[in-house]
A and B are shown apart, each in its own frame.
Chain A
Amino acid sequence: MKKQILWMWMFVAATAMAGTPQPAEVVYGRVRDPFGFPYVDTGRIRFFNGAVECAQYEFGSILANGMNYRVALDLDSGGAPYTPHAVQSGQTLTVTVEVGGVAQPLIPTNRLTVGAPGSSVRLDLCTGTDADGDGLPDEWELLLCEQSGGKLSGIADVKPQDDFDGDGLSNQDEFNAGTFAFMATDLLQVKDFERVSANRIKLRFLTSQNVSYRVIATELLPVGSWIPLRFALGVNDPVAYRDLVGDGNYQTIYIETASDALFIRLATQ
């Protein structure tokens, strides 16, 4: 009898100390190289709790909304983890991005605090260094200096909010869109805008490779809310898409609207 009680006591104690599985936390986002382009054919992101790897994702293609990774962190209620890679809310994880097997420096952080069970969090990262702490990778800033023809001499001269080439887009916006920040004739803009039928409009623009685009519209400026429009890739195709991933060429899309009183914008994600 004593033996049975001892076993029961040990079982209850073990159950009380062990964690129980909780709904996973989803971490997603976009990891870009030092020149602003999302990784698609190389590299992987990994999450560590101390020395234990919790999750990893190998970059392969652009996902919905312009993201290029998505992982689920297995959460635990506390105590001894039910599985070695389970994490608990409030713990701080280390994030690494490896390219060619080499861990890269990360901007703006290499830390992630685990959220509540069942939550989701977006974490956008950029590989590279940021010595001046302005959010733009030094590698991109130094390249802009080279491309400026001597007008910019160092990373301190390149500020995110400045518009070096004077085309109306800030350096930060050009970095995000993959356009040339040193060339006033290159910016994110619709080259051809033409009504091709009673309810279809054609838009043609120069895309940047692996950058994700959306067409958003509002009926009222400046207070209206901008709503994504679906588009077609062929003039007679159904409007079935919401995201366009650029291939570096001029690309044409067709939106459907019979209204003339609509403000339309092309946006990167």
Chain B
Amino acid sequence: MNCLSDNSKRIFRRCLLPGVLLAFWIPSAARGEQWTNAAGNAQEAKLVSLERGVVVFQRPDGSRVDIALASLSAASRQRVLDEAGEIEVPERLRSDFGLYVRTLKRLNELHREGKIGEAERMKQSAVIQAQFEKTCGELNIPEARRKQLIQLAQNR
């Protein structure tokens, strides 16, 4: 490095870090949508959730598929666990989170069956979301985490 001028060193430092980050980022972003099962078959999908050993994926066409975590390849399995860890519901919040998810799900089912209108579905969804946010506030759940959990509940 001593043979390089100060200017060259500066340029090297400016380019090296973004270059290294790019080298890591591009393959991982590409890998992020690709999942492989134990038999080696690959499938493009988005991870939705992991619950009691069952992974829910969303295919590019929007359809959902449930797959046993154990049936994935070791690498995919680890990635699911890593990503699901980011959206794990804190234990002290699980009852309220469960209530939130169940209520949204039930409202959607009743709406789909024509038992309630859209206005009622929206109104009651807002009530239960406010209730959940209130509990998050009482438990000092950070705002970013709260939004993440709301998003997770709405996707389930």
Contact = CB atoms under 8 A, between A and B. Distances in A.
Contacts of B102: 37, 178, 208-209, 248
Interface residues of A, number: 28
Interface stretch (A179-187, A228-236, A260-268): A179-187
Main secondary structure of the interface of B (DSSP, over half): helix
Given A102-B92, A208-B106, A249-B109, A185 B98 contact: no
A39 B95 CA distance: 8
A68 to B, nearest CB: 14
B114 to A, nearest CB: 9
A231 B120 CA distance: 35
B109 A180 contact: no
Nearest to A34: B95
Interface in A101-132: 101-102, 127
A147 B107 CA distance: 13
Interface string A186-218: 100001000000000000001011000000000
Interface string B92-131: 1011001100100110011001011000100010010011
Given A99-B94, A102-B92, A186 B110 contact: yes
A100 interface: yes
Interface in A125-180: 127, 143, 146-147, 178, 180
A225 interface: no
A191 B113 contact: yes
B48 to A, nearest CB: 16
Contact of A35 (B52, B99, B105): B99
Given A99-B91, A102-B92, A37 B116 contact: no
A185 B114 CA distance: 10
A167 to B, nearest CB: 11
A41 interface: yes
B40 interface: no
A132 B62 CA distance: 48
B115 A186 contact: yes
Contacts of A147: 124, 127
B90 interface: yes
Given A147-B127, A183-B116, A206 B92 contact: no
Contact of A206 (B91, B95, B106): B106
B94 A41 contact: yes
B99 A37 contact: yes
A42 interface: yes
A143 B131 contact: yes
A263 to B, nearest CB: 25
Given A146-B131, A206-B109, A208-B106, A42 B124 contact: no
A266 B2 CA distance: 83
19 contacts: A33-B95, A33-B98, A41-B94, A42-B95, A99-B94, A100-B90, A100-B92, A102-B92, A146-B127, A146-B131, A147-B127, A182-B124, A183-B120, A186-B106, A206-B110, A209-B102, A248-B102, A248-B106, A250-B109
Given A41-B52, A99-B95, A248-B106, 8 more contacts: A35-B95, A37-B102, A42-B95, A99-B91, A185-B116, A186-B110, A209-B98, A248-B102
